[in-house]
């Protein structure tokens, strides 16, 4: 299985994209509306943020989860024992954000959320009737007016050799939300698990966008759209000295949205954050 980039402007983009999501949990888009100059400017802005000790002034708020998570409090992937080797900042329009980094991040948040919503509408339009009948409301209306969509700026520091044995940049996990949009990072390392259990590299041509299904869409679609495991592996050799920045946007529904007979978005998110060790039970 190889992930082929799909041209956003192609006449068959919608069908090709939804087919890729269905078969692999992932889709890669090229020629999409998000400018790569915006993404690279954000990467630069945040290299500065993570390099400066004033980042500790933005320590995350435990309940709402906005702000800076240092490597000491970074999440531990479900089923793992070692924390991921990363630090990150959680941006919400209502949350804390340093003034210098705010304008571009806010702009990106708006553009990426709008694109994510459009892609969710593609998913809905190409869902078979027997899958769509389980959606408690239209997928795109699930995110209308949502305050929960999260933009995460991730920094994986260069490896120094003193990392815990067995720790990796991001342990294998599935995302919690409906859809995730991720611009190709500035360094490789992202891998996705294929159906036969092998790990494949996700292409990291700067300028492409990687989209994946999260657990909430898997739940709402009765498993038709798979939330696929992915991870970020550690660099080797000379690449160890390089840091890596990435910028996933996690599209979240409103808390009261019914995902399935078992879960609302709120109950599901709470259960998952406790499992990740970032919320007290
Ligand atoms: O850094 C990446 O490329 C992926 C990050 C990721 O999977 C996540 O934060 O959920
Ligand atoms: Fe992820």
> Does residue 87 fall inside a structural domain?
yes
> Does residue 64 fall inside a structural domain?
yes
pLDDT tens, position by position, 194-205: 989 999 999 888
Is the C-beta atom of 170 inside 6 A of ligand 1?
A: yes
State how many domains the chain has: 1
> Does residue 135 fall inside a structural domain?
yes
For residue 191, report the distance from its CA to the centre of ligand 2, in Å. Answer: 10
For residue 100, report the distance from its CA to the centre of ligand 2, in Å. Answer: 27
**Ligand 1 atom nearest to CA at 210:** 3
> Does residue 280 fall inside a structural domain?
no
> Does residue 5 fall inside a structural domain?
no
Write out the DSSP string of the chain.
---PEEETTSTTHHHHHHHHHHHHSEEEEES-SS-HHHHHHHHHHHHHHHHSGGGGGGB--TTT--EEE-TTT----TT-SSPPS-EEEEE-TTS---TTTHHHHHHHHHHHHHHHHHHHHHHHHTS-HHHHTT-SS-HHHHHTT-S--EEEEEEEPPP-S-SPTT--SEEEE--SSSEEEEE--SS--EEEE-TTS-EEEPP--BTBEEEEE-HHHHHHTTTSS----EEEPPP-GGGGG--EEE--EEE---TT-B-SSS-BHHHHHHHHHHHTTSS--
> Does residue 97 fall inside a structural domain?
yes
> Does residue 208 fall inside a structural domain?
yes
Q: Which structural domain range is residue 186 located in? A: 12-275
Q: What is the CATH number of the domain that holds 187?
A: 2.60.120.330
Is the C-beta atom of 185 inside 6 A of ligand 1?
A: yes
Is the C-beta atom of 190 inside 6 A of ligand 1?
A: yes
Residue among 43, 76, 170, 199 to mutate when testing ligand 1 (max atoms within 8 A of CB): 170
Write the residue with the smallest CA distance to atom 8 of ligand 1: 248
For residue 211, report the distance from its CA to the centre of ligand 1, in Å. Answer: 11
pLDDT of residue 277: 80
pTM: 0.96
> Does residue 239 fall inside a structural domain?
yes
Is the C-beta atom of 232 inside 6 A of ligand 1?
A: yes
pLDDT of residue 83: 92
pLDDT tens, position by position, 58-114: 999 998 999 999 999 988 888 889 999 999 999 999 999 999 999 999 999 999 999
Does the interface ipTM go beyond 0.90?
A: yes
């Amino acid at each position: 299985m190889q992930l082929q980039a799909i041209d956003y402007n192609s006449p068959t983009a919608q069908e090709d994209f939804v087919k890729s999501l269905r078969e692999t949990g992932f889709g890669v888009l090229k020629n999409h509306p998000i400018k790569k100059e915006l993404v690279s400017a954000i990467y630069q802005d945040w290299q500065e943020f993570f390099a400066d000790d004033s980042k500790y002034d933005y320590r995350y708020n435990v309940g709402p989860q906005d702000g800076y998570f240092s490597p000491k409090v970074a999440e531990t992937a479900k089923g793992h024992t070692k924390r991921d080797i990363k630090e990150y900042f959680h941006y919400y329009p209502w949350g804390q954000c340093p003034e210098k980094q705010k304008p571009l991040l806010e702009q990106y948040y708006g553009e990426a959320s709008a694109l994510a919503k459009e892609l969710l509408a593609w998913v809905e339009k190409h869902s078979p009737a027997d899958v769509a009948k389980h959606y408690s409301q239209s997928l795109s209306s699930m995110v209308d007016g949502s305050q929960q969509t999260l933009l995460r700026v991730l920094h994986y520091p260069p490896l120094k050799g003193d990392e815990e044995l067995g720790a990796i940049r991001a342990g294998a996990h599935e995302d919690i939300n409906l859809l995730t949009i991720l611009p190709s990072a500035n360094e490789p390392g992202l891998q996705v698990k294929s159906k036969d259990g092998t790990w494949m590299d996700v292409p990291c041509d700067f300028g492409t966008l990687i989209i994946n299904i999260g657990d909430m869409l898997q739940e709402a679609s009765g498993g038709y759209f798979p939330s696929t495991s992915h991870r970020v592996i550690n660099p080797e050799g000379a690449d160890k000295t390089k840091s890596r920045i990435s910028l996933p946007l996690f599209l979240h529904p409103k808390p009261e949205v019914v995902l399935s007979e078992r879960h609302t978005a709120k109950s599901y998110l709470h259960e998952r954050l406790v499992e990740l060790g970032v919320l007290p039970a």
